[in-house]
Amino acid sequence: MHRRAFTASLTAAVLAGPGDAVRASARGRPPVSIAMLMFPGMTALDLVGPQAILAGLAGGRLHLVARQTGPIPSDTGLTMVADTSFETCPGEIDVLFVPGGDATPGQMREEATLAFLRDRAARASWVTSVCTGSLILGAAGLLDGYRATSHWCVRETVLPRLGAIPVNRRVVVDRNRITAAGISAGLDFALVLAALLHGDDAARTSQLVAEYAPEPPFSAGTPETAGPDIAAGAGAILKDLVDGSLAAAASYAPR
């Protein structure tokens, strides 16, 4: 049994067993329909981490969506495959997901992408993102007045220009919007969403299957813990992304 089937079977077992009212109410729910946006220059881990957790809840209804189907190169050269186009993506979905990456500024200006997001978000139960994917949601007008987070390099500078209220947290839930901080926070996001969809024990089961028990060798995951010298070096690496995102946000007008 491969991992996706194993995760699905474990989730089903959790939902079928005794438990609290949240688990009981989730029992018998149909698989969740998920549309995960892909674009050239995205960050692979933004998508792959959540996909590994959420695939077991989707029961074959997880769609990797791009403007056109086919190979999609990430910002580090890893290529993945979109199996669904904007045109063939189901109109009714439960979860709309947007990753970030070096190509975020271009996607903030890509009207076909923004139109697709607006259309599906209007009927989705959850509108979500990881890392700078929240800037793409914001550029589509989908974060006006919502509390949200993003990668630390753009959270305080770009999100407010897109109508969002920046929050320095790993995962932020505001009504049906869920946004996560940079890259690795995608796993945290996926577990939060799994719990909202199918209960805490289903999320705990997925966490254990993934053996997600992080013990990083360094305490350098935020500018505050990394210190000024490391933060300055990381900022230099991210400068083009920050500058491009600021420029793309400059033309934003609330819808």
Catalytic residue numbers, as ranges: 131
Rounded CA separation 188/173 (Å): 12
46 to each of 42, 49, 99, 230, 239, how far by Cα in Å? 8, 6, 5, 23, 19
109 φ, ψ (degrees, to nearest 5): -105, -5
- The three-class DSSP label of residue 113 is helix
In contact, 78 and 162? CB cutoff 8 Å:
no
* Structural element, H or E, at residue 62: strand 62-66
Closest CA to 202 of 2, 36, 27: 27
Q: What share of the chain is helix, strand, coil (3-state, %, to 5)?
A: 45, 15, 35
- The three-class DSSP label of residue 30 is coil
* Structural element, H or E, at residue 108: helix 104-109
